[in-house]
Amino acid sequence: MSTSVHETSSVKEYFAALINGITTTVHGMWITFRYVWGVKHVSIEYPEVREVLPERARMRLFNDVLNCISCTQCAMACPVDCIYIASEKKPEGAEIKKTSNGQPIRLTLTQFVIDTALCCYCGLCTTVCPTECLTHSHDYEFSQYTIDGMKYDYLAPDVIAWRDRIVKS
């Protein structure tokens, strides 16, 4: 081992090392012992108590399809290519709706799927979105039994129903 105290030391050094060992250990134990009383807990009992996430927390993606103009910029920006979009041109004479920030929706969105199992939660897709319809929600409990369950079709009615909870205003 490091220093062979026990082989070469004199009696005086031996006791000095012993006392040093005891004092430093007691010193450290005293610091630990002070935590018995009066120190606030730093952990929380998770399933019952939940931490409030910060405003910018990046959890599961949510796309508000009513505001989406199918520009595919998010799919292009995605470094892991986990966003799949398909759209078709609206028939002539159809009513052109506008998004919440006034952009005309010229295309009909036919597919908007995100494979959350591939997603790396980097947030690049949300920063390029021109209508701010693609956002990170604060849902973090979405484990699934199969890997296919991680694929979210944002045009499905049950997923659209999240909108009331996630989209403010």
Binding residues (CB under 8 A) for another protein: these are: 1-3, 17, 20-21, 24-25, 27-28, 31-32, 42, 53-58, 72, 75, 77-79, 81-82, 84-86, 113, 115, 118, 120-124, 127, 136
The span from the CA of 104 to the CA of 152, in Å, is 25
Contact between residue 80 and residue 118 where contact means Cβ atoms under 8 Å apart = yes
Smallest separation, CB 99 to another protein (Å): 21
Looking at the Cβ atoms of 115 and 139, the one nearer to another protein is: 115
* Pick 105 or 125: Cβ nearer another protein: 125
Q: Which residues of 46-58 are buried (b: 16+ CB within 10 A; e: fewer)?
A: eeeeeeeeeeeeb
Taking the least distance from each CB to another protein, the nearer of 84 and 162 is 84
Exposed (0-12), middle (13-18) or buried (19+): which is 163, by Cβ within 10 Å?
Answer: middle
Residue 94 or residue 120: which is nearer to another protein going by CB? 120
Tell the smallest beta-carbon distance from residue 56 to another protein (Å). 4
For 82-104, b/e burial (b = at least 16 CB within 10 A) is: bbebebeeeeeeeeeeebeeeee
* β strands within the chain, DSSP E: 61-63, 83-89, 107-115, 134-136, 151-153
Looking at beta carbons only, is 113 or 160 nearer to another protein? 113
CB 54, min distance to another protein, A: 4
Q: In DSSP terms, which residues pair with 63 in a beta bridge?
A: 134
